[in-house]
Structure 1
Amino acid sequence: MRHIHKFGGSSLADADCYLKVAALVRRHCQKGDVVVVSASGDTTDHLLALTLDSLPALKAQQQALFKGIEGVDKVAQLSAALSADINAIEQALTDGITNSDWLVSFGEIWSARLLAALLDARFLDARDFLVIADGQVQPQSRERLQAIASDELTIVTGFIGADAQGETRTLGRNGSDYSATLVASFLEAASVTIWTDVSGIYTADPRKLEGAYTQNHLAGKVATELARLGSPVLHPRTLGPLDLTRQQLIIRCTFAPDEGGTRISTERANKNLASLTWRGDVYRCHAAEASSDIRAQAYAEEEGGAILYLPFAFGEQAEKLTLLALVGQGLDWQSPAGQALANVAQQGGLVHQAKGPEGLSLIAFVRELPAKSLLARLHDQLFAVGVVVLGVGNIGGCWLDGFAPRLKDRLRLYGLANSKKQLFSLNGIKPANWRNEFAKGGEPRFEGDLLEAFKKAPFAHLLLLDLTASKAVADQYPKFLNAGVHLVSANKQAGSAPLGEYDRLHVTLRQSGRRWFYNTTVGAGLPVQAAIRDLLGCGDDLEGVGGVFSGTLCWLFQNFDGTKPFSQLVKEAHAKGFTEPDPRDDLNGLDAARKLLILAREAGWRLELDNIHIDNLVPEHLRNISRDEFFARLDELDQPLLAALNQAKAKGKLLRYVGNLRQEEDGFRATVGLETLDATHPFANLTAGDNIFAIQSRYYRENPLIIRGPGAGPHVTAAGVQSDVIQLLSWLA
């Protein structure tokens, strides 16, 4: 299938831009594709204001674009063609030019000619096929293009065509975008990609409102309505030629091509809200006698059509206003989004409010644009995800330092808390300065404060990152979900809770419509649960999981060779952030057992923690003392573990802490504990700190599916948290 690409003037502003565009074309285009181009930079403006005196400067500007061309012959050909054009323009200016369309057409001709030379591609002047009469594209244009289309990569002039007499005519504002979609329609191309200076269609104009972010997908009707209301990226005519049931329009950024973009098709988007937009130079006009052509351009009307809201002044009593609108699907003024828009519009002197066709927009006409701070707060209410981080220690601190800034356009960090204090700020907490803000502004934390903070938060979505190991926090998950909060957890407590609590949590999840992501509860950033879910989703049956589930215990026993006391290794692991705050939560085997239990439940096996046999490495007399006292008496672990190590060495084996879960004829066998392994065993030779998971299933019975990698440490866990956050954002998009 053919694909059409269009590059605008900002994408072709100078010689370096042409080289960048040429590289993008080589990367994204194939034989038979068509590239439509606008004039370079501000060339059209120069042509419109051209005089004999300014002509030499225009020629020099165009010649400067040739510097990226390789080959003397090509440069000579381009120079000769440019000189011929300049001579023709000079003669026309001398004679008193009568066709300004002919004059401005040179911008697109020069641009297409240059790009074709850079790419050794075919140059096609749109006047050879595009017929325009009275501003309208004529039907014969389709057959004319189909007759001259080829399998070569073709560079086509945008914006221009010709009338039946061969005189140059133009398509007007945003004409090159329109040219591209016309070509796509004529050639029945699969897609049109418009390359511009922004990464798609945003939730608001990013140049005017910090925090606006790109929409990955828009339904065709929504995009058309957004264009009707004055989107700076789309013109209403652009979508007209496309059959969006089988063609799609994509908006991408020339200068950030890997950032994705916005895809426009007939598919219904997952969410109702698309964009907050505004524009000035809108007029309230008394227009009872307005023609049908004038009425067709109205944004809204009142008093039975006696008053129109138009993008231009009409009549003697036109009042200049500003349009403020919310675009999406199924919108209503009585909805929370509609009421929020109305409240802000009142601050700008609301004159009239209207509802677009099919509920695609809510439009407020105001005397002046409300303050930027009000618009920013409204945007947050409509689109932003308000985030509270609970647990700002190793993992939380790493996420805040390294990962939160990467999602700043979509997330509003407004809460930080640990077990003792908290900080909430509806104006936002800057990730780059979170430590200072938390230290200076943190207040004592009391039970229930977190829930109250969520109830007061003015954001479209709410997210709690639970980066603690707290059972008390996990017990509140149902309350958080019922308050409309999504959850991302590194906390294993909820996933390993008694089955009654676990089942009630999942019932609340279904009823609340919220999401809970918990992939870091097993294997830090390793995709273990995701692999199991994929296997089950493909019709496989899980038969067992074995491996080293604790990165902490892996690190300890990979390093435990008798040259250092075991207690010293525990202290080192704690200092590196490899252990839980209380290392006994690793050493007692509960951490590994909880992971085993979470995986069992992921597979649909209804196990309790009591069903797992756990080898506790902490002597009974050290289990119930304070953490500080435990650290003081840590060396009491050394003798029994050294004895176990020496016994393994005597057999020529290695000592490792291993988990196993197997489905057997009489039920399940689940254990975590010390085992002696041959030196060649896959579980014995790991990088210190690694996890390894050997997943056996009906499909992977003889040769298990192996997942291996770092299973402990703040950075890999924080990366896993970020992956879960990104999944949530994708689900919300």
Structure 2
Amino acid sequence: MKTLKFGGTSVANAENIKRVVDIIKNQAKDEKTVIVVSAFSKVTDLLSLAAKKAAVADESYKDLLETIEAKHLDALKELLPVGAQSSPLSEVKRLINHLETLLDGCFLLRELTQRTSDTILGFGELLSSFIISEAIKQDNKNSIYKDSRDLIKTNNQHGKAIVNFEKTNKLITDFFAENNYQITVLPGFIARSEDGINTTLGRGGSDYSAAIFAAALDADQLEIWTDVNGMFTANPKIVKQAQAIETLSYQEAMELSHFGAKVLYPPTIQPVLQKGIPIIIKNTFEPENNGSFISDKTSSKPNPVKGISHIDHITLITLEGSGMIGVSGSSKRLFEVLSQEKVNVIFITQASSEHSICIGILNEDSEIAEKAINDAFQIEIAQHKIEPCIVEKDLCIIALVGENMKNHQGLSGRMFSTLGKNNVNIRAIAQGASERNISAVIKEKDVKKALNSLHENFFEEDTKQLNLFVMGVGNVGKIFISQIAQQKKYLKENFKINVRLIAVSNSRKMYFDEDGIDLKKWNDLLDEKGEKADHQDFILKVKTYNLRNSIFVDITASESVSKLYESFLYQSVGVVTCNKIACASEYSNYINLKNISRQYNAPFLYETNVGAGLPIIDTLKNLVASGDKVNKIQAVLSGSLNFIFNNFNEKNSFHDVVKEAGVQGFTEPDPKIDLSGIDVARKILILIRESGHKMDIEEISNESFLPEACLKTEDNDNFFASLIEHSAHFEALYNNALSKDSRLKYVAQYENGKASVGLQLIPKDHPFYNLEGKDNIVLFFTDRYVDQPLLIKGAGAGASVTASGIFADVIRMGNI
């Protein structure tokens, strides 16, 4: 014999019920089959709301009743041929009329007792099971409808009645011993007390009903048909990468369902566990899928963790004080008072010092629990032996579940390390001796990030998802995004890094998509759907999304954008930037950013601040970390200035070469930033600081080669005009170098605590003489590199190499 249970979404409407009938037809070919059904989707909620409205004299309960009636009549009319509708329609209307009488009574009496509520809520299952029974009869006359209330007997605890299994099992076996029908349809959720009062088995109780029938009848298996392909490794609505679990033990299923896996009602497992009857969770809409198989056997797969689950809306209550140390009975008093108030304790942890006891309960019980506990310990509180209980709301319990976890070391550390790296603060921890479950209490706002981070770590082959928030999508920004698009598949396959673009922003607009922006359409989406750009709104959205491995990418030269880094780092959002302003700002700000980065575990990477895509800063950091000391730095750090002086000659005017450098993307939008030397000064300052020396930009000597009039221009048009006006000055610089058989190079250097930047004449025997194009070169003289300095040379300007340097920092974050 088989027992099949169909959930609310499986019987939401006539179309879905037709699917159910087809499944039953295939399943019940050769053996007796018991069918247990839930109410139509959302109907129980409608019944509950209608009852509550009626009890407060809100006449809109009548509208809800009409909706309920129409929903069932429409389904029946679509399922049955016209000639077969008369009698079933009469029965449905009779049930609706009975329901209406009960609701009218609530309206007149202005009250809703738990007993009445149980009766009203049961109409969902009564209506759905009757309609589905009639639909099955159209194909299989060898079927019958039976009211579960005649068979399942409980006590009078309304809302979640306790089953009397001795009487229930006898009634079920006696009925089916005489029942020769191939298919029996029964309503789930509802029961009746021994003195004939209607009761219910708790929300989700239809699963429990099915398990009761399966156990009493020694069924071969219990099938739970729902709208997903089984129990998942995490809630698929929160974790998009969640996978269906093929096999799991009763205990694992029980733990997962207790911690919020709504696909299975927790009490369901107990009746079938005792009989060793397997449970199969199947998808009504993909019946060919294997689903999840639950039995007394554990999986032999290497991953000891079966799933990650959670319970929302938790309050943590802590009772603490020296008056509890060594005093027997404190725990008993605490749990006794909670039991008397019918407060369910979900989570317990106690310090070994006996100084405190911490419990987790549902938010809705927090006020009752707080008052009850404080009243119970009022004498100790008055004597200051125990503190009034501490109440923390808006929390969530997350749990790792797996039968084989006890045989693997380091899982707790791995769990907590993953949460810590994503700045998820743990408020409390609990782990049973069976080690089947490791639970932690966190803030509710962090649940999405926590679940995704843990799932990524335990189930996604160590694939790390990076969520990028990009500000600045000009020339470099566009190339950066195109590089992501080009390399996305390669990174995922070879480096286990999944890069997602969550936000893009320019100076006018910003566009966000929590599920990831299409890398081929980002520009159009920004133009067409982007909202007005606002730095504070941008920060707020990043904070609200609260995604794991979030990275803010600054591809601007904006001082105002550089001031946002602190806000992001405080949120444990990593920062990647080619913008030199922050690292070249006041020394105190530079140090502060690095300290925040370490404190909040938020990487702060800026390799492209010096040398675009060249590994200058990274090399320098490794030198210092290995114990070497930098004594002197000589460098050509401006690819744009090197390009300009390499191409400035008798044939090409200084004005024309500077223009061309801008066209090729070698200069900043404002070329004075490059030509004034401030950009080079910032770069050498960053290298000095990374070498471990304290310095501010005002201490760097900057001898400008530009005439004062050029420096004082207020826009680019006037600046370029001034270059033409002072062409003789630039020609004199060139001719002087030519006469001395030297080349003009803009050099930055540091030695003996002093730094300078400026135009120099470089003779033929100097390493800088043959530096061509837009290349950079850096010489590090250290304790280890004395006679022959460590030399780094290569392209130091250009959109492509800068974008690739930014991309490299992003990948570096993926490997941290």
What is the TM-score with the length of structure 1 in the denominator?
Answer: 0.52
CA distance in structure 1 between the aligned counterparts of 2:510 and 2:673, rounded to whole angstroms: 25
Measured after TM superposition, the shift of residue 643 of structure 1 is 0.9
Match of 1:672 in 2: 757
Q: 1:390 aligns with which of 471, 479, 482?
A: 471
Residue-by-residue CA offset, 1:661-693 (whole Å, 9 max, x unaligned): 112xxxx12111111111232101112100000
Match of 2:814 in 1: 729
Measured after TM superposition, the shift of residue 329 of structure 1 is 8.1
CA distance in structure 1 between the aligned counterparts of 2:626 and 2:449, rounded to whole angstroms: 44
Q: 2:243 aligns with which of 277, 283, 298?
A: 277
User: For residue 482 of structure 2, what is the amino acid of its counterpart?
Assistant: D
Residue-by-residue CA offset, 1:677-723 (whole Å, 9 max, x unaligned): 11232101112100000110011111011110000001111111111
Report which stretch shifted further, 591-600 or 622-631: 622-631
Q: What are the residue-to-residue correspondences of 1:314-463 with 2, within 5 Å?
A: 315=276, 318-320=279-281, 322=291, 355-356=401-402, 357=405, 383=456, 384-407=465-488, 409=492, 410-457=498-545, 459-463=547-551
Measured after TM superposition, the shift of residue 582 of structure 1 is 0.7
Q: What are the residue-to-residue correspondences of 1:475-624 with 2, within 5 Å?
A: 475-624=563-712
Aligned pair in 2 of structure 1 residues 617, 304: CA closer, same or farther (>3 Å)? same
Residue-by-residue CA offset, 1:481-529 (whole Å, 9 max, x unaligned): 1122101110101110111211222222222211111111101111111
Determine if the alignment matches structure 1 residue 714 to structure 2 residue 799: yes
Query: Is residue 548–residue 659 contact of structure 1 (8 Å, CA) maintained in 2?
Result: yes
Aligned pair in 2 of structure 1 residues 287, 682: CA closer, same or farther (>3 Å)? closer
Determine if the alignment matches structure 1 residue 692 to structure 2 residue 777: yes
Residue-by-residue CA offset, 1:263-291 (whole Å, 9 max, x unaligned): xxxxxxxxxx9984323576869999xxx
Query: Is residue 381–residue 460 contact of structure 1 (8 Å, CA) maintained in 2?
Result: no
SS at match of 1:514: coil
User: For residue 423 of structure 1, what is the amino acid of its counterpart?
Assistant: Y
Query: Is residue 331–residue 338 contact of structure 1 (8 Å, CA) maintained in 2?
Result: no
- Count of residue pairs the alignment pairs up: 423
Measured after TM superposition, the shift of residue 431 of structure 1 is 1.6
What is the TM-score with the length of structure 2 in the denominator?
Answer: 0.47
Measured after TM superposition, the shift of residue 411 of structure 1 is 1.6
Query: Is residue 449–residue 547 contact of structure 2 (8 Å, CA) maintained in 1?
Result: no
Residue-by-residue CA offset, 1:163-198 (whole Å, 9 max, x unaligned): xxxxxxxxxxxxxxxxxxxxxxxxxxxxxxxxxxxx
Determine if the alignment matches structure 1 residue 646 to structure 2 residue 730: no
Aligned pair in 2 of structure 1 residues 454, 681: CA closer, same or farther (>3 Å)? same
Query: Is residue 469–residue 551 contact of structure 2 (8 Å, CA) maintained in 1?
Result: yes
Determine if the alignment matches structure 1 residue 704 to structure 2 residue 789: yes
Measured after TM superposition, the shift of residue 420 of structure 1 is 2.0
User: For residue 517 of structure 1, what is the amino acid of its counterpart?
Assistant: L
User: For residue 511 of structure 1, what is the amino acid of its counterpart?
Assistant: Q
Match of 2:718 in 1: 629
Q: 2:746 aligns with which of 657, 662, 680?
A: 657
Query: Is residue 280–residue 292 contact of structure 2 (8 Å, CA) maintained in 1?
Result: no
CA distance in structure 2 between the aligned counterparts of 1:596 and 1:335, rounded to whole angstroms: 53
Residue-by-residue CA offset, 1:562-613 (whole Å, 9 max, x unaligned): 3211010011010000111111110010111111000000001101101111
CA distance in structure 2 between the aligned counterparts of 1:541 and 1:287, rounded to whole angstroms: 59
CA distance in structure 1 between the aligned counterparts of 2:630 and 2:553, rounded to whole angstroms: 30
Report which stretch shifted further, 638-647 or 379-388: 379-388
User: For residue 717 of structure 1, what is the amino acid of its counterpart?
Assistant: T
CA distance in structure 2 between the aligned counterparts of 1:442 and 1:593, rounded to whole angstroms: 37
Residue-by-residue CA offset, 1:22-69 (whole Å, 9 max, x unaligned): xxxxxxxxxxxxxxxxxxxxxxxxxxxxxxxxxxxxxxxxxxxxxxxx
Aligned pair in 2 of structure 1 residues 534, 337: CA closer, same or farther (>3 Å)? farther
SS at match of 1:430: coil
Query: Is residue 693–residue 708 contact of structure 1 (8 Å, CA) maintained in 2?
Result: yes
Match of 1:15 in 2: none
CA distance in structure 1 between the aligned counterparts of 2:701 and 2:644, rounded to whole angstroms: 21
CA distance in structure 2 between the aligned counterparts of 1:605 and 1:617, rounded to whole angstroms: 28
Give the number of the structure whose alpha-carbon radius of gyration is greater: 2
Query: Is residue 776–residue 796 contact of structure 2 (8 Å, CA) maintained in 1?
Result: yes
- The share of aligned pairs that are identical, in percent, is 30
Query: Is residue 482–residue 508 contact of structure 1 (8 Å, CA) maintained in 2?
Result: yes
Match of 2:358 in 1: none
Query: Is residue 587–residue 694 contact of structure 2 (8 Å, CA) maintained in 1?
Result: yes
User: For residue 395 of structure 1, what is the amino acid of its counterpart?
Assistant: V
SS at match of 1:279: coil
Aligned pair in 2 of structure 1 residues 516, 330: CA closer, same or farther (>3 Å)? farther
Residue-by-residue CA offset, 1:357-404 (whole Å, 9 max, x unaligned): 35679999xxxxxxxxxx999758954322111111121111111234
Residue-by-residue CA offset, 1:138-162 (whole Å, 9 max, x unaligned): xxxxxxxxxxxxxxxxxxxxxxxxx
User: For residue 596 of structure 1, what is the amino acid of its counterpart?
Assistant: I
Query: Is residue 763–residue 769 contact of structure 2 (8 Å, CA) maintained in 1?
Result: yes
